[in-house]
């Protein structure tokens, strides 16, 4: 085993809690490791919530807020839940800004429609090279997600694509677990109906 592989294994063995404590002591390297560990998940979640417009800026905003907020984070073992909550807040802020400028929102949607076929809707554990039928299906799912409200979309993405438990989603979105269940039920049915309208057999 070469040195790079050994270093990678050592990095994976470090817990989030240890890295958070390192960050709180001013260790920038610990934060870089957290960034590498979570940036793909954050990017995937933000893309599915907000589309491709300003995606990189939104990802950077999430980690900037995380860096600023880490000194006040008391439950360091719940870092991932806390980071998803920041991602949700950034996405919500983005949608609110777009809502204030409706013409910009229409332009964003138009650009997203033209760009989305070049981007894959996948969970962080999905294959990197899906076949053409998979790409087509992902494109339809992404279109279906865009028909849902941000609140319903968030629950569906976090549960079905990011594989988070309902209790954790309730903590991230700051809503009761029962609301998570009802929103998930509605979102799944709405997405299923959309896909059936596109002649996708489920």
Task: For residue range 101-151, list pLDDT tens digits in order.
Answer: 655 445 544 444 444 433 344 444 444 444 555 655 677 888 888 899 999
pLDDT at site 197 = 85
When the pLDDT of each residue in the chain is averaged and rounded to a whole number, the result is: 81
Whole-angstrom distance, CA of residue 50 vs CA of residue 39: 16
- Are 162 and 46 in contact by the 8 Å Cβ rule? The answer is no
- Are 27 and 107 in contact by the 8 Å Cβ rule? The answer is no
- Rg over CA atoms, the chain: 18
Which pTM was predicted?
Answer: 0.74
- Are 119 and 46 in contact by the 8 Å Cβ rule? The answer is no
Cite the DSSP H helix spans in 13-131.
Answer: 16-24, 28-50, 55-69, 79-100, 102-115
What the block records as the tokens of 6 is: 């050994």
- Asked if pLDDT for residue 90 goes beyond 90, the answer is yes
Residue that the structure tokens 């996948």 belong to: 122
Whole-angstrom distance, CA of residue 159 vs CA of residue 182: 13
Average pLDDT over residues 47-70: 93
- Are 29 and 22 in contact by the 8 Å Cβ rule? The answer is yes
DSSP state of 118: G
């Amino acid at each position: 085993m070469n040195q790079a592989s050994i270093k990678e294994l050592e990095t994976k063995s470090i817990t989030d809690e240890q890295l958070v404590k390192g960050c709180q002591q001013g260790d920038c390297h610990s934060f870089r490791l957290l960034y590498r560990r979570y940036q793909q998940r954050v990017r995937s979640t933000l893309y599915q919530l907000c589309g491709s417009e300003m995606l990189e800026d939104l990802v950077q905003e999430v980690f900037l807020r995380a860096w600023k907020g880490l000194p006040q984070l008391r439950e360091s073992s719940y870092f991932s839940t806390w980071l998803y909550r920041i991602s949700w807040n950034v996405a919500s802020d983005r949608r609110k800004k777009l809502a204030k400028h409706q013409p910009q929102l229409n332009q964003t949607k138009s650009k997203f429609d033209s760009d989305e076929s070049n981007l894959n809707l996948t969970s962080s554990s999905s294959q990197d090279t899906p076949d053409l039928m998979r790409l087509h299906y992902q494109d339809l799912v992404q279109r279906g997600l865009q028909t849902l409200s941000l609140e319903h979309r968030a629950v569906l993405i976090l549960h079905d694509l990011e594989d988070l438990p309902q209790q954790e989603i309730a903590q991230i979105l700051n809503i009761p677990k029962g609301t998570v269940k009802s929103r998930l039920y509605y979102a799944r049915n709405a997405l299923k109906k959309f896909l059936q309208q596109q002649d996708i057999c489920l």
